[in-house]
Structure 1
């Protein structure tokens, strides 16, 4: 028996020796004499870290955990480098396929121009389209990127959130800072809002006229209040001051445009910076006061009830669209108290669809009663009264054209239209509305004609000049203020220019006359009067003219200085409020845990990506 076992063992040794000779592979022995297993070819593509608990991919620098086995490493090569045949326990042929694949498809190296361009495109898409950072880890998105460029290895979301976002934000911020260093005058808008996570934010935007005489609007910050437990004027002032100091624009601010909230107006007073109340917000306050009149309440309640019925009944809404028999049927609009002019838009849509609405309501069970002919007549008159306010709001809410010079002319136009409508309306509710507006217009808007910034802006707008004022007295006061400012500016220019009087001609015919002319003192006040008079005597420009284009080609540099100072101010704080809707999309119910710093950077890139500073 022992002899049989010995022969069998010798036969096994002989067979193993033959196999080694065939494969020509040397099989090393470990220190205890046991045979060591062959190292996996996967280690040709990974490098072990110190400690042996992690490995780094040679192709994409990904760091993976490993405790001696290669399961994680195989999965990484299969999923990230598209080697579909690779699986755990693969044979040497599969490893050869892996070698061939890696040789044929080489991934972009970190820092390469192509990889940086794709990385930056992705982070811009996240910021501009308000996408979550987790998008880069979605399977379909990764498949799309691999299909477009299989050599690009998309990083994880932490890379975009903490590294690339900061890099893009800092680059854009430094660029804007450099531009603001060369700007003499800027204006700001500021407004507060509360996120879904109940954090208080302050949004600040900056407005200036560049060297090409284009109006530029940029967001400076969307910052969490320094003290989140209160919204006092002192807290707002300290937060706003921190923004001003960060951007180094302390001595360049013409004014800050805010809404009519007493707290934020008080904060501007604490900072000793001029404040201009948002003109659109003031218009809306007048309209809201009119809508609260008892004579209008019954009609508004009935309109809201009809709209609510169609909004809550899919059948009724479908019948309404079918009754219109057009390719793009209209739907009803509901009033939203926080949205400007929403009551006007609701009534206007009801008047347009009244015939179809009445038909559907009569055919629907439990539907409210349709509007009577008298009620429709009252609604039509109310629409005629509110339409000028809607048009004015749209006119002064732009961000690419000068709007501050429109404030006083718009007020004058509203006064005239209300005066003419007063003799035309017949319904009691319309008469009551006209009476209320005629009372509130002077109380709400008289101060605008007396404020330095809007009255000088109106005067230097070639479309309006003195003719844009409601009161001629205020126009004369604006001319005096402008004349004084021109004189002071001319004095500062002359004091900064150290020019010597011209030398007398060698052979002057009347030398005494040349001496008197050379010693004759110049009067900055007289020069200012002449400049202003020459401008005012010229004919008014066309209403469609851009005032910045008018002044761009002037030869008088003093006028360009005045224009850049007074026309950079927006009439409204809409730019700050527009960021609220952006922030609402960004800080959603599913993303309410975003850190304030990340919110600030995303909104900054979102708004300022397409700015043209020069």
Structure 2
């Protein structure tokens, strides 16, 4: 007996109503955040319409929350002034203009300048940086990669070849794996393509020989190059996967992961045997040195790593940079002393026992004692005590740790909430645009920009 809504009612009533309710609900949650990190990126639809998305990341009840604030048509040109104006508009609409502690974007000059125009701290997307490093380095083995692309395209075009490959895999007792294609905007798709063809090497070689395929086969040396290259690129794949999670603290890992990938890549310089693989490793090492040589002096990253109870100061090589970061953290904690904090032992901010008159004299002494204390001294004690705490396990949730220590380090906890909300990448907007591409598909390319905006928002935020 259910009356199915008509297309008109869905488009004009149900979706807009759902969008308004979800947006209002999300606005209330975002307003309660003490600090936010923004990520932004652009996308061009099939109808050559440019869209700009702005995502927000904050800590709610000691849990990392990521949400889409807006995804709107951007037709005023890509000048930094226009981008800054739109970013500021979104921040004001969501009442977070004075709460932005960092904005993470790719390395595009216009976006970087727009963020700096707004006097927001800017952090380049680590995933995009890794993409540039690997993409440029892979040029040294372009002939071998092009041959792999041609082989993969051959199997994807020919159903006969695909069936024969599957049959050969069965006969050889190998898992039936489909060859993967490369996506030019994602470096790790190239890695997955190379890794997959190596896993099916014997079956692929045999099938191409039987079918007399019109493609250039890989030489034995090229197979060896692919094998050594995948061993090196596996490191970058691990880092990309680790930093792309939007429900976990990620920025505090950046220094450790970057130092780790630099050192492990350098170790491969003495392990690889083929000349092309050596060129690849040398190119990767040179690019990593250029991109990451000043990372340990980035204030936000230093402070974020120190305030992660899994790492603290053990990940740094420069003691002076650590001392300066601790001084900034202490000063920030002292500045937070003037803000109200929950009474000790009562994280909810409500006393369980009502104070009576007989305790009045004691409460007055407590108040006078609190006013006599030096906020800077208290903040210093908190920082020192925190540093002396044993490290958490690397698999532990740092936000859960801070939840249990909030009453012990009330000032430092407030500073931490303004640091651990920072994310390492601008991957969330890219995921949103992948979904937007599925919504604004070839068969739905006449959908209006306003409707696409509502659908993308609901797709990203409805749980």
TM-score for the superposition, normalised by structure 2: 0.89
SS at match of 2:293: helix
Structure 2 counterparts to residues 359-508 of structure 1, below 5 A: 359-491=206-338
Deviation string 1:247-280 (CA, Å, 9 cap, x unpaired) is: 1111111111111111111111222211111110
8 A contact 2:31–2:94 mirrored in 1: no
Q: 1: CA distance between counterparts of 2:14 and 2:143? A: 57
8 A contact 2:383–2:412 mirrored in 1: no
- 1:57 aligns to what? none
1:232 aligns with 2:79: yes
Q: 2: CA distance between counterparts of 1:155 and 1:368? A: 53
- 1:36 aligns to what? none
Deviation string 1:523-555 (CA, Å, 9 cap, x unpaired) is: 322222221121112222111011111111112
Deviation string 1:570-592 (CA, Å, 9 cap, x unpaired) is: 11111111011110011111211
1:246 aligns with 2:99: no
8 A contact 1:291–1:297 mirrored in 2: yes
SS at match of 1:465: coil
Indicate which of 295, 299, 304 corresponds to 2:149: 304
Indicate which of 430, 439, 443 corresponds to 1:586: 439
What's the CA shift for 1:479? Answer: 2.0
- 1:283 aligns to what? 130
Relative contact order: is structure 1 or structure 2 higher (C-alpha 8 Å, sep ≥ 6)? 2
- 1:568 aligns to what? 421
What's the CA shift for 1:203? Answer: 0.6
Deviation larger for 179-188 or 190-199: 179-188
Provide closer, same or farther for how the CA distance between residues 609 and 504 of structure 1 changes in structure 2, counting only shifts above 3 A.
Answer: closer
What stretches of structure 1 of length at least 5 have no aligned partner?
1-149, 495-501, 506-513
Deviation string 1:108-128 (CA, Å, 9 cap, x unpaired) is: xxxxxxxxxxxxxxxxxxxxx
SS at match of 1:187: strand
8 A contact 2:329–2:415 mirrored in 1: no
What's the CA shift for 1:402? Answer: 0.6
- 2:10 aligns to what? 160
- 1:219 aligns to what? 68
- 1:526 aligns to what? 377
What's the CA shift for 1:452? Answer: 2.2
1:547 aligns with 2:383: no
- 2:158 aligns to what? 313
Deviation string 1:503-528 (CA, Å, 9 cap, x unpaired) is: 699xxxxxxxx9xx969953322222
Deviation string 1:468-516 (CA, Å, 9 cap, x unpaired) is: 235444333322222222222225569xxxxxxx9699xxxxxxxx9xx
Provide closer, same or farther for how the CA distance between residues 229 and 522 of structure 1 changes in structure 2, counting only shifts above 3 A.
Answer: closer
8 A contact 1:412–1:469 mirrored in 2: no
Deviation string 1:80-124 (CA, Å, 9 cap, x unpaired) is: xxxxxxxxxxxxxxxxxxxxxxxxxxxxxxxxxxxxxxxxxxxxx
SS at match of 2:41: strand
- 1:104 aligns to what? none
Deviation string 1:49-93 (CA, Å, 9 cap, x unpaired) is: xxxxxxxxxxxxxxxxxxxxxxxxxxxxxxxxxxxxxxxxxxxxx
Q: 1: CA distance between counterparts of 2:439 and 2:158? A: 31
Deviation larger for 254-263 or 525-534: 525-534
8 A contact 1:361–1:369 mirrored in 2: no
Provide closer, same or farther for how the CA distance between residues 264 and 519 of structure 1 changes in structure 2, counting only shifts above 3 A.
Answer: closer
8 A contact 1:408–1:470 mirrored in 2: no
Select the structure of larger CA radius of gyration. Answer: 1
1:206 aligns with 2:56: yes
1:184 aligns with 2:34: yes
SS at match of 1:467: coil
1:609 aligns with 2:462: yes
TM-score for the superposition, normalised by structure 1: 0.68
8 A contact 2:56–2:66 mirrored in 1: yes
Q: 1: CA distance between counterparts of 2:96 and 2:371? A: 40
SS at match of 1:479: helix
Q: 2: CA distance between counterparts of 1:373 and 1:480? A: 57
Q: 2: CA distance between counterparts of 1:478 and 1:412? A: 19
8 A contact 1:396–1:403 mirrored in 2: yes
SS at match of 1:284: helix
Provide closer, same or farther for how the CA distance between residues 470 and 395 of structure 1 changes in structure 2, counting only shifts above 3 A.
Answer: farther
- 2:195 aligns to what? 348
Q: 1: CA distance between counterparts of 2:339 and 2:16? A: 42
Provide closer, same or farther for how the CA distance between residues 590 and 221 of structure 1 changes in structure 2, counting only shifts above 3 A.
Answer: same
8 A contact 2:249–2:420 mirrored in 1: yes
Provide closer, same or farther for how the CA distance between residues 376 and 504 of structure 1 changes in structure 2, counting only shifts above 3 A.
Answer: closer
Give me the CA root mean square deviation: 2.2
- 1:508 aligns to what? none
